Amino acid sequence: MTDMFNKGDADLRILRTLEVLYGDKVPKDVPELVMRIAQVIEDPRLLPSHVEYITQHEGIKDLRFHLVRMQLESELRVREDVDRHSSRLWVSQTLERIAFGELLVEGIKREEEEEE
């Protein structure tokens, strides 16, 4: 896995982002879709040019929990670096909303409120 990165700061940040998306077990061959997601999470300015590819790709349906993991990680770490983790949260939520119509976490909260 590490041979695909030259250990520059940007590459290490992408690797750490992939670890969050995958839940620490990054496969040897990362699919293009996941790599693009990691890139836009690290640099939200790339989102407009990648949004269609990511949200209309058939593989996105299998990656919802990748986006949820990023949202949870960003919420937990937001006090460490407010700007960075806020933008990571925004990107992962935006991708999930476009691809799935709502946020999984918000849907669970609504169901709990309706039961009460």
Average pLDDT over residues 22-46: 95
Is the per-residue pLDDT at 10 higher than 80?
no
Structure tokens at 87: 């933008």
**Can you give the pTM of this predicted structure?**
0.83
The pLDDT of residue 52 is: 96
Nearest alpha carbon to residue 55 among 97, 105, 20, 106: 97
Nearest alpha carbon to residue 71 among 110, 30, 102: 102
Angle between helices 47-56 and 82-100 (to 10 degrees): 40
The pLDDT of residue 86 is: 96
The pLDDT of residue 71 is: 96
The pLDDT of residue 63 is: 97
Residue 45's pLDDT band (cuts 50, 70, 90) = very high
Query: What is the tens place of the pLDDT at every residue in 49-87?
Result: 999 999 999 999 999 999 999 999 999 999 999 999 999
